Structure 1
Amino acid sequence: MEDREYPVEPTLLYAQLDRNMVGESIFKELGNQILYRRPVIEGLPYALLDLWEAQGGGDRWSEMEYVLRDGKFEVAYIYPDEIDAEEDVVERRARAVRRHFGEKPIVYPPWPPEDDAPDYDL
């Protein structure tokens, strides 16, 4: 909802989680195409990690699909035993987008110039 450039609905949040790791992707359905949006919510990874850690025990889900449409939300949790270890997360993510929005092209924004990319000293 913090992304005010595009309508709130329909939106898919696809997240992959593991210990100390969160990867989130946001997709918005815009007519005949799907738009990938870089997450703009600073606290989103922390909220997702808190949700994941709240499960306790060893049987935690690995991926989540959260869809917002028509004023309602639907959540699907994918557990490690439901994931093909040989399949790349990008393929699973694209399949989730198709499952929720159909066979529409996904439009990714251009990556920022290298000058704007963060630089890390290790």
Structure 2
Amino acid sequence: MKLSNKLLSILKSKTELSEQELNNLTEKQGWEIIYSLKPKTEPKIEICFTGFSPTEKNTLIKVAEENNFHIAKSITNNLNFLCCGENAGPAKMKKAEEQNVILLNAEEFQNLIETGEIPQ
């Protein structure tokens, strides 16, 4: 079966399939190979920092980014952690708790980074 020019071009550039192997593929099989080549990305862990001085917050954000966290600016539907400083607003903390977001302080966040342990 003849593959579409687009598919044939992609398969030749992304795989090491021989001409014989390419000729034996169906269009569907070819696309399945292409989609299997896409890297599987794991969803990032989302964290928001609140109640910290700008300097503290920037330091925490840098650490989170270096450890592949996604930084949220507010309480979102995908938020996993809310890291709270001394001046964290009670309304934001309540909203996070209602969404079953895990609340952390800076020390617990550092421990999470170092050990992977989530506080109880």
Higher relative contact order (CA 8 A, sep 6+): 1
Higher strand proportion (structure 1 or 2): 1
Structure with greater helix share of residues: 2
- TM-score normalised by the chain length of structure 2: 0.27
- Determine which structure has more spread, i.e. the larger CA radius of gyration: 2
